[in-house]
Amino acid sequence: MSRILIVEDDRGVGDLFSRALSSRGYDVLVATTAETALNEVDQFQPDAILLDLRMPALSGLEFLRRMRTLERASLTPVAVITGDIVFVHANRQQLRELNADVYYKPVRLKDLLGITRSLLQKPS
C-alpha cells in the first residue's frame, strides 16, 4: 500500500483529499503545517507528497527546500497543488530545481487520483 502525505493547512481540503485517496486504498496522512510535515516525512516515510504552497509560518516552498536536504526524502515525488498562480510563476525555476510538479486548484477528485498515480510511477 502506497503512503501519501498531504500537506495542506485547509482542513476541509486535506480531509477531502484524504478521503478520496483512502477510499482507493492509499495509506494517507494529513499534516496541517509544514513544520509537522517535516517531522512526518521521517516518521511516515511517504511514497509521494501532495503539497500546498501557501501555509502559515513555514511556506510550502520552504518545506520543499528543507525536505530535499533529508536523505530519506531527497527523491520523494512531490506535487504542488495550489491556487496561487502568481506565486508559482515567481518561483517556477525553484520548483523545477526542487523537482516538484505543479497543479492548480480547484482539483477534481478524478484528477487528484491521476496526479497521485503519476507521482507513484516516478522513480524515487
Backbone angles phi, psi at 41, to 5 degrees: -55, -40
Please check the confidence at residue 22 and state whether its pLDDT lies above 80: yes
pLDDT digits (tens, 9 = 90+) for 79-93: 999 888 887 778 889
Rounded to two decimals, the pTM is 0.94
**Distance set, CA 34 to CA 97, 109, 114 (Å):** 19, 23, 24
**CATH superfamily assigned to domain 3-120:** Response regulator (3.40.50.2300)
Residue 51 or residue 83, greater confidence: 51
Q: Judge contact between 21 and 113, C-beta under 8 A.
A: yes
Q: Judge contact between 67 and 107, C-beta under 8 A.
A: no
Q: Is the peptide bond before 106 cis (omega within 30 degrees of 0)?
A: yes
